[in-house]
Structures are given as C-alpha cells and as structure tokens.
A and B are shown apart, each in its own frame.
Chain A
C-alpha cells in the first residue's frame, strides 16, 4: 500500500509541530523518519496512524483519503516506543488481541486464533514464551511481541516509533538485522521513527530527515549521506568539523593558506563541512591544511586526535582506523598537513538578491578519489 501525505500541518498551541509536509512512500518501501527530538517525526507517524489529527492536509493510502476512517478500521500495525503491551495478558493473548476483538464473521474461531498467534510467535522466534507475561520478558523480547501483535491484524502499513530506543546496543544491532529480514519476508510498507542516524542509514531504503517540523531532505541512504542538502542534514548524519573559509581563484583558503582546489565559479565566504573521518595526513609537498596535533586518544578500533589550525586557532577533530598508516604521524605537538578527502561547501552568506533569512545553501561537494 503506498502512502501519500499532502501539505500536512499540525500545531500544538504556539508550537508548530509540522509545517506543510509532502511525502510519497511507495508500496513495500522501508522508510526511516530521522530527526532530533521535537522535529515532528513522531507526530507525523501518529498522524499517519490516525492517533493524531492534522490541522490541514490529507493522508492517502493507495489513493484513498483515510482521514475520516476511524482508527480501529485503518488496519495499521503500530509498534509503540514503550511497546504498550497489555501487562495483565500473556504474550499469546497480547498477540491474538487484534483477532479476538473482531466481531461477527471476520472473527476466526478459537483454534484458528490460537494457530495464528503461534505462527506469529514462531515468526518472531518466541514460540516458547507464549504463556509468559510481558514483565517476564527482556526488552528485546517485548519488542518482538509488540511486532507480532501489530502483524497479527495483517496491516497494510507498519509504523514503528523509535523501535530500538529502549534497547541496549547489542540487542539493537541484532533486532535491526532481524527487522530488515522480516520486512523482506512480509513486504509491508514500513515507516519507523528514529533519532539514531546509524540506525536509519543501516536499515532504511530511503531516509526522511526532519527538522523543526519540516522535511529537510528525502533520499536514499547514499543520496543524503553523499549530498546533504543543508548544513543541518550534514550535522545530523554524523560529527562535523566546520571550517570558515574563503573561496577565491579556484581554491578554498583558510587563514591565508590555499588548502584545496575547488572549482566553484564563485568568490566569497563559505563554510567547509568535513567529517573527522574524512581527514588524512598529506605529504608535505601536497596542498592541504596545516595543523598542530594537540592530543591523541585511542578508543578501540578508532584513533581520535584534536588538532589546531595555527593561523586561526580553530580546533578540529580527526578520526582514523587504528591500523591506518597515517596514525603514526599523529604525535602531540607535531605539525602536519591535513588532506580533505571528502567535504561539502556551504555559502555562509545569502545571495544578495534574496531578502529571505540567511540560510546556508550547498554550493558544492568535493571528493578526492585517491586514497
């Protein structure tokens, strides 16, 4: 079932939770709604579910306007952040709830309900635990019960609110993998909300990045990572070094030093966005950014260093795998030249014609191919 959202608005008192949201989701897609807390992602999910009502705009499932369809007839599988399992019911009763409350002809007989519940428990690998109560389960098991319960009604759409938020790191990784497989098996259109960019990038076909009630960017994992539409998106997808620079004569200049060739056809102040992991040590005759190493930390497979640009005093962080041949050059007080392997350039000033608010916009993205 494909989903279309048309100019959705939602206001809570003075707070604009959603501002003119348009989105189309293809049938069978696995979509991540990614954003910081307060960005409106959960509200959007709840509006799609029918738990919340938009102030304006339309929600369409397969072309059909569902705003007037009551919650219980929408056939939506929803997994709550805290699971919302019924504590006084066994796991099996939780899973079969959606079938047991059906009325009349569409209600299966007792044996069929039990069979279906057991099938689902099988699917989520909890067949042994049908007679337990939710409080007797681990977090990851509760999560899977919640999923089985949502799948029991054969939903047209599966919605998950921070599905792994309550779990510890190891369980989270396993469940991600498992959810991905489950999605491939069932093929149900699935949306999940997360504030964890790693989770979104690892799991989703497409990522919807939200900020301040608006969609900041929609795209495949590669698209949003490789071509972030705004500093905000760049920031949100990982840690960032922001280096104020000048664009002149086909070069980016920091503190008077030409640090990288850049064909921008423009002249003026820009900001370079570069991830710590995209900085490497350059040869002394290569073009690059001079910096002094302040300190070096080894944290497992990653080596982190803080360096300072002497001309401006700005500090940057650098990350590299611990086996990388550059690591041995990271010696405190040593001055070295850094190479920007991959970076984005955003104009720090608005174009002069526009009178709108100063919003940095991407003017280019560069990637060095040699490693």
Chain B
C-alpha cells in the first residue's frame, strides 16, 4: 500500500472499493458512453451538427440566460443574505427556511407555478402586460425560471461567509474614517468576492442544464426560446440519437469546465477561511 497512509481503522478497502464500483457503474461509465457515441462521428460531422443554426441558438440561449440569471442572483442573493445576516425583522426565520424551496420543490411544479404567475392573465403578468412587458413564453420567462432555481446557491454560499465575517473589520474601517459606502466597497465586498463568485458559478452551472422549470414558461420556439436540454429531448424523440449526443457532449464538456472553475473558487475561498482561522486561533487559545 503506497497510496494510503496507514490507519488503525478497518474497512478502508471495502468502503473505497464499493464507492469506486458504484461510482463507476452509475456515473462514470454511463457518462463515458456519451463520448464513445460522439466519437462514432468524425470531427467534421460533430462540427457540422454544432454549427447548425438551431443547435447554436439553443446553446447560446441556454448560456446567455443562465449567465444573466446568475448575475441577477448574485446581486439579489447577496442582498437577501445581507438582510438575513444583519437585520432582524418579523418572519425572518420563515423566510430563511423558504430560501431552500427551489432545492426542495420539483422543477416541474416550479415551472407551471411560475408560468401561471407570469402569464398574461397571471397574478403578476396581468400588471405587466398593459405595460407591454411579456414574460411567459419569451426569453425573459427563461430568466425568471432560472432566477428561481439559482437563488439558494448564491444565498447559501454567501450567507455563512457574511455571518463569520468579523464585525471588527467594519468597526476598524469606520474608526479610520471610512464612510459606510467606502466600508462596503473597500472592505466588505472584496472579502465576500470568493464566495460570491462561487455562488454565481454554481447558479450558472445549474442554470445551463436546467430543464423542468424552464420548458413550461419558455414557449419553446426553435431559434428563439428553445433551450439546449429541450433540443436534446426533441432529438431523442425524433430518434436522432447522434444529434442528441453531440449537443449533450458539448454541454458535458462545459459542465466539466464549470466544475473545475467552481472547485478552484471553493479552494480559493477556503484558503481565505483558513487564513482567517490562523489569525484567530492562537487568540482563542491564549484567552483560556
């Protein structure tokens, strides 16, 4: 055994063996199948499929809307996290628990509910329609659905960092003469940045692949409001497995890149955390 250090605890081989077998059977081998399937085609063919206008516009739409929604979530999610961590108001606990609703609510339910709400005759839509704002069955609808899906990712990554942030940093800034806005801009936001970017990336990654909540509200017009996952489904229904596979492979590659980026971001923000601890730990020791 060279790749593990010795341990007194038993069960390592059994546990790791089972983990690797299960992981391979359920995740790795099936995923590899996508690339096997794609390699049946030549590069030129793959390129031709990816370059077709319908595929291109579907991919662009999925990425574009996910990007916009993640950016909006970064702003509003930070606002929500800030309000929850810093202020007290009635119903706070209830709202706090509700933040995770998008994690728990089936996407199809979210999809039809948002559609009912933002359609021209819906509770919200009826006020916007006279103003000429159409949400349901447009690209805006997709962004609304992705806002819903992505919100908890930002809130739940920013919230703990904000909670752990030493109040002293703000006090120090104020004592040194900084205005509140300067404190937020120069001290708070830079400290939040790693977690904010992580939340953004998580929301974005989820948004690109999202299907259930989007298809009801999107309108699904080819070239206009047809997202990439829907295009995969349509290709499958047409028994065009090759076409579906190529789009899926493209999405997978991008998902892997995102995973890589997210891991990097998390390592970055963790390093930040370790630094904070190493500043604080000896103090706690000395205090006792």
Task: List A residues at the B interface (Cβ < 8 Å).
Answer: 37, 49-51, 71-78, 80-88, 97-98, 101-103, 134-135, 139, 142, 149-150, 152-153, 165-167
Contacts and interface: CB of A to CB of B under 8 A. Distances in A.
Nearest to A79: B172
Pick the most buried of B174, B176, B286: most chain A CB atoms within 10 A of its CB: B176
B272 A80 contact: no
B174 A88 contact: no
A72 B179 contact: yes
A73 B176 CA distance: 9
Contacts of B280: 82
B192 to A, nearest CB: 10
Contact of A80 (B171, B190, B286): B171
B252 to A, nearest CB: 35
Contact of A86 (B169, B272, B275, B283): B169
A102 B186 CA distance: 13
B161 interface: no
B182 interface: yes
Given A165-B286, A166-B283, A72 B178 contact: yes
Interface size class of B (residues with CB under 8 A): 20 to 34
A97 B279 contact: no
Contact of A97 (B178, B191, B286): B178
Q: Please provide the 4 A-B residue pairs with the shortest distance between their CB atoms, ordered closest to farther.
A: A98-B176, A84-B168, A166-B283, A101-B178
15 contacts: A71-B174, A72-B176, A78-B171, A80-B172, A81-B283, A82-B166, A84-B172, A86-B187, A86-B190, A98-B177, A102-B177, A139-B282, A165-B286, A166-B282, A167-B286
Contacts of B282: 139, 166
A87 B275 contact: yes
B177 A78 contact: no
A135 B169 CA distance: 15
Pick the most buried of A75, A81, A87, A103: most chain B CB atoms within 10 A of its CB: A87
B93 to A, nearest CB: 20
B2 interface: no
B287 interface: yes
Interface string B91-105: 000000000000000
A101 B179 contact: yes
B279 A135 contact: yes
Nearest to B168: A84
B34 interface: no
B171 A84 contact: yes
B173 interface: yes
B286 A101 contact: no
Contact of B191 (A49, A80, A87, A102): A87
A135 B275 contact: yes
B8 interface: no
Nearest to A149: B176
B140 to A, nearest CB: 36
Contacts of A102: 177
Interface in B167-216: 168-169, 171-179, 182, 186-187, 190-191
B165 to A, nearest CB: 10
B235 to A, nearest CB: 47
B172 A78 contact: yes
A76 to B, nearest CB: 6
B175 A101 contact: no
